[in-house]
Structure 1
């Protein structure tokens, strides 16, 4: 009997890429192909790339070259956002067999036979306005993760001046409610206790669907009505989508985690306008303030950019103040990246790189202050939380790490428990950036 050929997927970037890589992997598994870890020698490597920054581009090229060195005889397929934006750069790497755009990435299983026979062009990148491959089936699990990721939406209709992702992903498209519900039912049935909903612009969910009732709020109601002991986390949302109807659902449905990651970028009215964000600073504060009033003990993370072109010290102070005012405990801070091909790259008044890094450090420190104060409140109130255990602690295998409903990082003694278990705990003390917890 001829051995099955081995393939591996490597994922760079966002949760959407993670989900899509699982779709690709599951579609390839057959009597002919067996999936292995990307650290192993395989006959086919599929690299699902990111292009959110120039550093992401560099990491993509580095990963491709590393896998080619790992097995020079392997077939190499480069796909994802970097492949969509700069296919020539991907194809120029010696050893790459196929560069596949986001429009066809989920069709790889259908293309492999022709690729093996040498009948495909080296670059297959199409117009995302005309076509993009969306999953037609569902995945069974998310190997290596105790939380399962479910993509519900693709693409973005916005044109922020610093961002190239709307070009890499195409216009907003929503997955059918039926497909999303079937996917979640499958994952919950297979033992997952937390489902992370993800999309490129998840707040725009519903665009393109025939049923106008199914915006994000309607989808969440349907998901929360499913049977089973599981919780729902929303990966990231733009504050402009936080209307009263959505806030009512976020506050009223018990299965929805009391943690929200917000796409904020800046607290400066001037910078938000120059970024072409779809909200003003005043609107942002109003909507998040309404959410904070509605959801008890809510915890926020946020994407925040330091050093956007023309950002003055005063404008930066607006952003720093925003972290404290909105109580952003887990800011995802990144320095503005000199990204060729976006409008912001043409703005003449670029902030020096050293100053960008300095401001980024200050924003992270502000977030640490908010987080530390949050931890103290949790300890003082002797709060009980539900934690999903994720993995054994790297420093002490007798302990397990996990995340609470509101995304607080927790460490506790294993005592027979395993990753994936859901445990009720009481916070006991602080260990650096984590909370030590005891079971109750």
Structure 2
């Protein structure tokens, strides 16, 4: 790849927080690569693949002379489909995208400076589980963990560059440590980060598998104020039979008990969850259980995914629900989350919340509520904001 003084490489990130973290590393790696556009793709659903294709076409229109490279999960899982797009100049395997040799750039590459006030650190990659709906292990491989020492080095680097919040992310974060000597639990890593860096204002966790939250991590969530009161669960469904057919390892009662016990210790804990609408064999009763768990767990940050069959997965061979029914059920789930979220935001009016400002004029409270900030608030500032109203889903 040739250098250029007139063009800047661009990395377009789709999908999960892990992709965001990896995109930051690629931006640093390709800083002198010239007229290059990289689409760091997602393939978690058929809609994600559609958005990847859309991003590729848009990138080609905006940078007609650039070398356009696709990496990420879709580059592996939908390899032929993506490679055959006329806009695409090449693909780089997901497992190789952070290797400078794949891009023909010099070694070594320093960790990137954060482009946001929050630094995303990928502490784990891959997955050893076999959920029947999920194609991600095909694109990410088996679970691999960064050592505690490696994580601490990255946190130190980002703090030196001014990050106020660190987000620990991965494909299956709660499996962190399973492949390391003595199989340390995730709570050991979180505790080490908090202990080593008392100057760290905020530590936030990305999506977690509730059944694998170890006692140390539970205690930190319950009592450590620098660990943000925001727990996003990889829940997927609210009915035990569907969870079993998904090959999930938790039951509905497991999730309810976890949230009940944590909120008893930390009432301000905000719960998020991933929920799938219209999984194969889902009946009206199963859907009703999915709806009811939103209220029972008090889910205020909901990610709703209409089920779509993914290539090579067991669920794709199960009896499918009609697409129109899936769409309608997804809409009902989104409406239920929106209603619960509005009630939650209403309850925050009158409170004074510490908000970490972003570059776009908004910021996040500890509970991940988004707040519209005064226009003169500098990015990266931690400001106490009295909440007076809600407008457009933002606290003001």
Q: TM-score range by the shorter chain?
A: over 0.9
Confirm or deny: 8 A CA contact 2:235 2:275 kept in the other structure. Answer: yes
**For 1:407 and 1:391, how far apart are their aligned partners in 2?**
16
Within 5 Å, give how 1:156-235 maps onto structure 2.
Answer: 156-212=127-183, 214-225=184-195, 226-235=197-206
**Which residue of the partner structure matches residue 386 of structure 2?**
426
1:136-188 alpha-carbon deviations (Å, 9 max, x no partner): 86523232x22221110001111111110122111111011111111111112
Are the aligned partners of 2:15 and 2:41 in contact in 1 as well (CA < 8 Å)? yes
After the TM superposition, which residues 251-262 of structure 1 pair with which residues of structure 2 at under 5 Å, given as runs? Answer: 251-262=222-233
Give the match for residue 365 of structure 1: 335
Structure 1 residue 386 corresponds to structure 2 residue 354: yes
The yes-or-no answer on 1:289 pairing with 2:264 is no
Alignment partner of 1:78: what SS? Answer: strand
Note the residue ranges of structure 2 that are not aligned, 5 or more in a row: none
Pick the aligned partner of 2:363 from 378, 402, 409.
402
Q: Answer whether contact 1:242 1:287 (CA < 8 A) is retained.
A: no
Contact 2:185 2:214 in 1 (8 A): no
Partner of 1:82: 74
Alignment of 1:19-168 (within 5 A): 19-30=21-32, 33=33, 43-107=35-99, 109-113=100-104, 139-143=111-115, 145-168=116-139
| Contact map agreement 2:92 2:102 (CA 8 A) in 1 | no
What is the TM-score normalised by the length of structure 1?
0.84
Q: Which whole-Å deviations, capped at 9, do the CAs of 1:44-91 have from their partners, x for residues lacking one?
A: 222111101112112222322333344444322211101111222222
Q: Is contact 1:188-1:230 (8 Å) kept?
A: no
- Deviation string 1:200-235 (CA, Å, 9 cap, x unpaired) is 0001111211243x3210001111111314201111
- Counterparts of residues 334-345 of structure 1 (less than 5 Å): 334-345=305-316
- 1:138 and 1:183 in contact (8 A); partners too: no
Tell me the TM-score normalized by structure 2: 0.93
In angstroms, what is the RMSD of aligned CA positions?
Answer: 2.1
C-alpha distance in 1, partners of 2:224/2:384?
20
Q: What is the aligned partner in structure 1 of residue 20 from structure 2?
A: 18
Q: CA deviation at 1:95?
A: 4.8
Once the 2 structures are TM-superposed, how far is the Cα of residue 387 of structure 1 from its aligned partner? 0.5
Aligned mates of 2:37, 2:315 — CA distance in 1: 35
Choose between structure 1 and 2 for higher RCO, CA contacts under 8 A separated by at least 6 residues: 2
> Deviation at 1:302?
0.8
SS at 1:168 equivalent: helix
Contact 1:139–1:183, Cα closer than 8 Å, also in 2: yes
How far apart in 2 are the matches of 1:112 and 1:148? 24
Counterpart CA distance in 1 for 2:374 and 2:62 is 38
Instruction: Give deviations 1:332-379, integer Å, cap 9, x for gaps.
Output: 11211132321111112x222222122112212222222222233333
Contact 1:12 1:48 in 2 (8 A): yes
Structure 1, 95-104 or 272-281: larger mean CA deviation: 95-104
> Which structure's CA Rg is the greater one?
1
**Aligned position for 1:412:** 373
Q: Which residue of 2 aligns with 1:132?
A: none
Q: Distance in 2 between the 1:228 and 1:82 partners?
A: 39
